[in-house]
Amino acid sequence: MEKRKISITECADTISESLKKGVFLTTKAGDKVNSMVIGWGHIGRIWERPVFITYVRDCRYTYEMLEKNPEFTVNVPISKPDRNAFMICGTKSGREMDKIAEAGLTLEDPEVITVPGIREFPLTLECRVIYTEMQDASKLPEDIREQFYSIDTSEHTAFYGEIVAAYVLE
């Protein structure tokens, strides 16, 4: 599998649009790899570095893995994605199962970090966390707190990942 390098500006609109339907956030700690579906994130520049910012609840297995290894990949579908992979990685916990195997996904070796990409979601950002910030839900407007924190009171942490490689798997 070849990796065609892309610029951050070349893929920013595609990633922003894809977030509305969901993209994969992949982590690795030790020999375990886990992916979850995310719909919240930002791509841009801060501190003169290209970054992808993702938000992960502190109760998620992905959060635990990011604490152990502060690196992640963002994996974006280019054509019609496999809905089964979205169902498994969006509703199951990696604590209880190997979601990659269950979804029939193929891992691809990374270029810079230790976390692999996913062949079936070929637009790949490799990111190394350079900053984290716990979100304080009590400071949010009441309607947002009610919508996102009334049932699950665990809060999100923002993970600022410096984009150290960007490519499309071909």
Residues 101, 88: Cα–Cα separation, whole Å: 10
Quick one: fold of 3-169? Pnp Oxidase; Chain A (2.30.110)
pLDDT 10s digits, 37-50: 999 999 999 999 99
How do residues 67-123 score in pLDDT, each as one tens digit?
A: 999 999 999 998 877 788 988 988 889 998 999 999 999 999 999 999 999 999 999
Phi and psi for 23 in degrees, rounded to 5?
-130, 170
The reported pTM is 0.93
CB 69 within 8 A of CB 114: yes
